[in-house]
Structures are given as C-alpha cells and as structure tokens.
C-alpha cells in the first residue's frame, strides 16, 4: 500500500516538473499555484522573477475539510485579495493535479471573482 502511494506521488512530482519547465510567473502575470492535501488546500500567487509570494489563501482557518464548497470560497477570497493587490491576470499552475473536483472549483471561483487565466 505504501509503495503504491509513493509511486503515485512520484508520478505527480514528475508531472509537476514538466509543467514548471513551461509555466513561469512574471510581475505582469504571476503564477497561481495550488497545493492540495487530503484535508486542506492552499493557493498562492507568486512572482517567479523575484521569488516572492504576492497573495496567499488557505483552508486552515476554515473549520473542517476543504471540500468543493470551501474551495469555491477560497477561490473567491483569492480573487478579492488579488484585486486589492491590483493583480488581474495570472498563469494557472495546477501543480501536477488533475483539473477536476476541488482544483476546478477553486479555479472557476477565481475566474468568476475577476481573475483572468
């Protein structure tokens, strides 16, 4: 069982490296990176040129697990924080995860909140 999980994670890390070789954030269009664990989700907007995180939102403050509804709220909060920081366009980095479920809910909510990607 542990070997199966390790293989699954190593395949995700290979996908992540393949994506990161092509996707990079700039000051004009920073990178929106999403990390998903079993219970929580974290999204941050990063300027890769300077190596700084510009905006960050996570589900640790919210009670309970990060389900689709919580991810929708996180995407909306992220879009609001980006507007406050005068960020309108981002490059989406799904970090090797499938664009499905919680990742898709967060991305859709961020788009509805006004982010362009």
Model confidence, pTM: 0.89
Which CATH number is 49's domain given? 3.30.420.100
Which helix (H) or strand (E) segment is 112 a member of? helix 102-112
**For residue 23, is it within any domain?**
yes
Per-residue pLDDT tens for 3-24? 888 888 899 999 999 999 999 9
Integer Cα distance of 41 and 15 in angstroms:
19
Q: Which domain holds residue 6?
A: 2-112
- Residues of the chain with pLDDT > 90, as a percent, come to 82
**For residue 94, is it within any domain?**
yes
**For residue 117, is it within any domain?**
no
Q: What is the mean pLDDT of residues 103-117?
A: 96
Total number of domains constituting the chain: 1
């Amino acid at each position: 069982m542990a070997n199966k999980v390790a293989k699954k994670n190593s395949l995700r890390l290979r996908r992540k490296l393949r994506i990161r070789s092509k996707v990079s954030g700039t000051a004009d269009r920073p990178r929106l990176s999403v990390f998903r664990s079993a219970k929580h989700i974290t999204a941050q907007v990063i300027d890769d040129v300077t190596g700084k995180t510009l905006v960050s939102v996570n589900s640790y403050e919210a009670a309970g697990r990060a389900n689709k509804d919580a991810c929708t709220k996180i995407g909306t909060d992220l879009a609001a924080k980006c507007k406050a920081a005068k960020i309108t366009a981002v490059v989406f980095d799904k970090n090797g995860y499938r664009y499905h479920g919680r990742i898709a809910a967060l991305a859709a909510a961020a788009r509805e909140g006004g982010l362009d990607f």
